[in-house]
Chains A and B, each alone.
Chain A
Amino acid sequence: MQWLTPTAGLIGAAVTIPALLLLYFLKLRRRQVAVSSTFLWKRAVQDLQVNAPFQRLRRNILLLLQMLALAAVLVAMGRPVLRLQEGPGQRYVLLIDRSASMNALDGQLTRLDLAQAGAREVVDSLRGQGAFDLGGQSDQAMVIAFDDRVKVMCNFTSDKEKLRSAVDAIEAGDGDSALVEAVQVARAYAQPPAEDANGRSAEPAAGLELFSDGQIHDLADVVVREGELRFHCIGESSDNVAIVAMAARRSYERPEEVTVFAALANYGPEPIDCDVQLSLDWNVLAVRKARLGPRTPAGAGSPGGPGSASVTFTMSHAGAGVIEVRQLRRDMLAADDAAWAVLPAPKRLKALLVSPGNLALSQALASCSLAGLDRLTPAQFDSAEPASLQDYDMIVLDRHAPAKLPRGRYLTFGPPPPDMGGQVQDAGEFIVDWSARHPVLEYVDLAKVFAAKHYKLTLDRTARVLAEFSDSPAIALVSKAGSTFVVVGFDVNESNWPFEPGFVMFCYNVANFLGGAAAGGDGAGSLKVHQAITVRGPQPNSQARLIGPGGARSELVADASGVFNYGQTNRVGVYSVSVGDRDRERFAVNLLDAGESDISPVREIELSGQPVQAVAAAPQRRNREVWPWLIAVAMALVCLEWVVYNSKVRI
C-alpha cells in the first residue's frame, strides 16, 4: 500500500474531524417544548437508559457512522494505491509506430488507433502523482512517434493528462518505419542524471514500450538490453495488395508515347485476381486484370515473399499530366493501393557551352540529342546579359570560372566555381571511388580515368561528392544559391577521360539530370514520403500555394535563394505547387515500399540478434488507486447513517 497524497489526507483530517465533532455538538441544540411536567419524561429516559444498555452507543452510532464515512473520504484523499509492482518511480518511453503499415485497418480501427489505445492503457497504469504529494515516487513517461522520422510528442512527465493528449496528437503518416533513430532519441532523453563512464547508473534505465506491427526495416541495427524493450504487437491481418513499383517513361524516339510500368505484390495468404486501373489526370484510360499468387512462407532455401505480378500500359500523350495506377481491390491498407507519376511534357534541352575550344566536349554534347547547343567563348559569356542565359537548361563551363555566375544549372570542368577551392594539384591521380548509382554516373565507369592535374575542391557539407581522387573530390554535385553545379575538378583535356566511352554517357547523364531538374522530370516529380518538395521561385520571399492530397492547402514562402521547400510530405498522393501565374508544378509522393506494404504483424522481432516476444496481454496496471471504492464506502455509510437516523426518529 502506498499513499500518493498523504499530506492532503492529513490536512483534510485536521480540518474536518474537529469540524464534524463541532457540528455534532452543535446538532445537539435542541428544540424547546413546554410540557406540564418533566418528571414522567425523565423517568422514561432513565428507564430507557436502564433497560437499553446499548442505548448510549446507539445514540452515538450516528457519530460513529459519520466518523467512518469521513474517515473513508479522508483516506480516499490520501489516495492510497495498491501497488501491483514494487520499486521506485520508473520511467517509460512510449515508442509509437506511425508508419504507413500502421494505417492498416484491423476491423474498424487503424493499427495506429489500437497502438494509441494501448499507449493510453500504459499511461493509465502509471503510478500517478497527487496534488499535495511531496515524495517523488510517481512513474514518468515520454511519448515518441516514429516512422522514418522521429517526433517527440511529449518529454518525460508524470502528468497523465499531458501524456494522453500527446498520445492522441499522433497523426498517421505514410512513411517507412525505422526504429534506430527513435531509440537513440529516447536514450538521449532518458539518460539518467547520474551516469558513470560505463553508462551505469543508480537509477534504472527507462523502459521502452514499443507499439508497432513489427514491420520495421532496421530492427537488426537496434541494440537494447535484455528486458529493456517491451514490444506490443498491433495488428491481426496481412491481407494487402500493394503497388510496389511504378514508373512512367516517354519513349526517347517518340516522345508522345508513354510506357507505364507497375509492379504489384500480394501479401495475403490467398491468390488474388485484381483489377489495375490506369488513369491520366484522373480520367480512367485502361483497366487490366492481374493475377497474384499467394504469399510464400519463408522456408528452407527460399526467403519467402509476396506473390507478385507486373502490369505494363502503353499510351499516347503528348502533354504533361499525372498518371495514376491503382489496384481496385479493397484491402487493409489504402496507402499503397495507388501510385502516381508526374509526366512532364516532352522537352528537348537547350545547352550552352562556354569554352575556349574543346573538341572532345563539344562533340560529346553534340551527340546528346539536345534541342540546341550554343557555343560562347569565356569573354562572350562574361559580357552576355544574365537574362539571355535564363533560357538554357544547362550551361557548360569549360576551364572558365567567373567570379559571379547568374542563377542556373552548370556543368563545370577545370577550375571550380567561386568558393569551392581550386588549388591546383600537379600530381597525377586516378579516380579511386565514385557512386555509380547516382543518375549522373549511371553506366559510367571511372576506374581508368586519370587526371594529370586537378583542382582541389573544398566543398561544404551540402555538396554531394560523386567521384573522388585520393585527396580531393573529383566530381561533385553542389547546390548553391539557387544554382546547381556538377563540378568536375579537372580539365578533361588533361585527362584520359575523353577516350573513355563513359565520357559521352556522363555528358548525356548530366544533361538529363540538370535538364530534368529544370523540367521537373521523372526524377524530380516523383518523391518518396518525407522527401522534400523543392520548387524554384521567381525571387526570394515570394509566395506559393501548395495543395496536398485530400485538398489540404498551405502557403509557402521562398527562402533567401528563391526556393520553396516543403518537407511535410507525410501522406502519399499528388501535391501541386502554384507559384504566381506560372503553371502549377505537380509532385507525386508514393509509398512504393515493399517493407511497409507488408502489413502482416510480426509477433517476435529480432533486435540485433536478440529476439523480443510481443507482450501477450494488455498492459498490466502497475498500481490501483482505491479511492473510488473508499468514496463508495463513504456514500454507503452516509446512506446507512441516514437510515439509522430515520429509524431512530420514526415514532
Chain B
Amino acid sequence: MSPKTPTSSRRRLTELLDGQFMARLDGLDIFSRKMLQGKLRGERRSKRRGDGIEFADHRPYVIGDDLRFVDWNIYGRLDQLFLKLFLQEQDLTLQVMVDVSASVSDGQPTKEMFLKRLAAAIAYVGVVNNNRVTISAFADGVVAQIANMRGRNYLHQMAEMLLGTDSAGPSDFEKACRQVAATRVGSGVMIVLSDFLFKAGYEGALRRLISEKYDLYVVQVLSPQELAPTFSGDLTLVDMEDDDRAEVTISSALLKYYKRNLAAYCNELKGFCTRRGAIYALTGSGEPVEALILNYMRRRGLLR
C-alpha cells in the first residue's frame, strides 16, 4: 500500500469497511466452483493442464508433445512414453454489480449502504488477492464502472466510486445486464447485489448473466421494513422510482398477503437461480455485512 495514499480516500474506504473487518477479509480469497481459465497466469489453479507446478496426471505421449514434460522415470520402468501434466494456475475475474437505483435508498438502515459495503467487501477480497475485479453500479443501465482492478491500489478508487454514486433514478436491470454481459471477458465469478424489486422482471436479465464461464451469485437485500412492514392506516404508497401509487388500507389480512407475496417472490427468484446453477442469498439490510461475508459466503463457497 502506498504511503502517499490521500487520507480522504483512506477515510472513505474505512466508511465502507472498518480496519478489523478488512483484516479478516485479508485472510479470504474468492473461490470459483469451476476451475476456470484465466487470461493471465494467476495465482489460481485452472482446469487447463499446463505448465503449472502442481502435478495433475499422466497421459500417453503423442507426436508433437513437448519432450520436456515426458516422464522419463516411467519410461525407464515401463518402456513407454508418458507425459506429465501439471495444473496451470490462472487469475479470476470477479464481476460485481451493485444496484444504485432509487429503490435501494429506502429502508432503515438503508439498503444502499448495505449493498455498497457488501460490494466493497467482496471487491476487497478480490482485489487484494490479485484477481481481476470489475465493479459496476447500475440503475437505469450501468451508471458507474471500474473495470479490471487488480491490486490494493485500486481500493481507494473503488471506494470513491461506490460512495460517489448516489442512488437515484429508475432501474433497468435488463439493460445493465446487457451492458455488463457485453463487456465482460474472461471467466470467474459474477455477483449481483440488488433488492431485485424490478417491475420489469429479472428473468431475462439474469439469463444474460448466466454463462459457462461465470459462477453467478445473486444476493437480494431487503430492508427490515420491507420484510416486516410497520405501516398502519389508510395510505397511499408511492413508488420511489416511477412515482406509481398504490392506495392501501393496512390491515392484518393485507399484511399477511404482502408477506406471503414477498416470500413467494423471493422463492421464485431463488428457484430461478437454483435451476440455473446460480447461488441465491437473501439478507436484510439490518443485518451485519460481516456476518454475511464471513459466515454465509464462506459456507456457500464463494469465499475461502
Q: Which residues of A contact B (CB under 8 A)?
A: 27-28, 30-45, 47-48, 51-52, 55, 59, 648-651
Contacts and interface: CB of A to CB of B under 8 A. Distances in A.
Interface of B: 103-104, 106-107, 111, 195, 197, 199, 223, 226, 231-241, 244-255, 257-258, 260-262, 265
B234 A38 contact: no
A648 B260 CA distance: 19
Nearest to A32: B236
B102 to A, nearest CB: 8
A52 B236 contact: no
A37 B236 contact: no
B237 A47 contact: no
Contact of B255 (A30, A51, A52, A651): A651
A44 B106 contact: no
A28 B240 CA distance: 22
Contacts of A40: 197, 258, 261-262, 265
23 contacts: A30-B236, A31-B236, A32-B235, A32-B237, A33-B231, A33-B236, A34-B106, A35-B238, A36-B239, A36-B240, A37-B240, A38-B238, A39-B197, A40-B197, A41-B237, A41-B258, A42-B246, A44-B254, A45-B257, A47-B261, A48-B253, A59-B249, A648-B251
A35 B236 contact: no
A35 B106 contact: yes
Contact of A48 (B195, B239, B257): B257
Contact of A35 (B232, B237, B249, B265): B237
A33 B261 contact: no
A501 to B, nearest CB: 115
B236 A36 contact: no
Given A48-B254, A52-B253, A36 B261 contact: no
A48 to B, nearest CB: 5
Nearest to B234: A30
Given A31-B234, A32-B236, A37 B249 contact: no
B181 to A, nearest CB: 24
Contacts of A36: 103-104, 106-107, 111, 195, 197, 223, 226, 239-241
Contacts of B251: 48, 648-649, 651
Given A36-B111, A44-B254, 16 more contacts: A30-B234, A31-B233, A33-B231, A34-B106, A35-B106, A35-B240, A37-B241, A38-B245, A40-B262, A41-B248, A44-B248, A47-B260, A47-B261, A52-B253, A650-B252, A651-B252
A37 B234 CA distance: 18
A38 B246 contact: yes
Tell me what chain B mostly uses at the interface: helix, strand, loop, or mixed. Answer: mixed
7 cross-chain pairs, A with B, having the tightest CB-CB distances, nearest first: A37-B197, A36-B103, A44-B258, A44-B257, A38-B246, A47-B257, A30-B236
B64 to A, nearest CB: 60
A28 B247 CA distance: 10
B196 to A, nearest CB: 10
Contacts of A47: 257, 260-261
Nearest to A651: B252
A38 B250 contact: no
A37 B199 contact: yes
A30 to B, nearest CB: 4
Contacts of A43: 257, 261
Contacts of A651: 232, 250-252, 255
A47 B262 CA distance: 12
A490 to B, nearest CB: 111
A33 B255 contact: no
A30 B235 contact: yes
Contacts of A33: 231, 235-238
Contacts of B240: 34-37
B219 to A, nearest CB: 16
Contacts of B250: 649, 651
Nearest to B226: A36
A59 B250 CA distance: 11
B261 A35 contact: no
A33 B245 CA distance: 10
B227 to A, nearest CB: 11
Contact of B244 (A32, A38, A648, A650): A38
Contact of B247 (A30, A48, A52, A648): A30
B237 to A, nearest CB: 5
B246 A45 contact: yes
B245 to A, nearest CB: 7
A648 B251 CA distance: 6
Nearest to B240: A34
Contacts of A32: 235-238
B223 to A, nearest CB: 7
A32 B111 CA distance: 21
Nearest to B236: A30
A648 B249 contact: yes
A33 B238 CA distance: 6
Contacts of A34: 106, 237-238, 240
Contacts of A31: 233-236
Contacts of B252: 650-651
Contacts of A649: 232-233, 250-251
Contacts of A650: 252
Contacts of A45: 246, 248, 254, 257
Nearest to B249: A59
A139 B250 CA distance: 56
Contacts of B197: 36-37, 39-40
Given A648-B249, A651-B250, A38 B237 contact: yes
Nearest to B103: A36
Nearest to B225: A35
B246 A41 contact: yes
Contacts of A44: 248, 254-255, 257-258, 260-261
Nearest to B264: A43
Nearest to A29: B234
A30 B232 CA distance: 11
A51 B260 CA distance: 13
Contacts of B265: 40
A28 B236 CA distance: 10
A33 B230 CA distance: 11
A62 to B, nearest CB: 10
A42 B246 CA distance: 6
A84 B258 CA distance: 58
A120 B195 CA distance: 79
A650 B254 CA distance: 11
Contacts of B234: 27-28, 30-31
A649 B254 CA distance: 10
B62 to A, nearest CB: 59
A453 B233 CA distance: 115
A71 B118 CA distance: 61
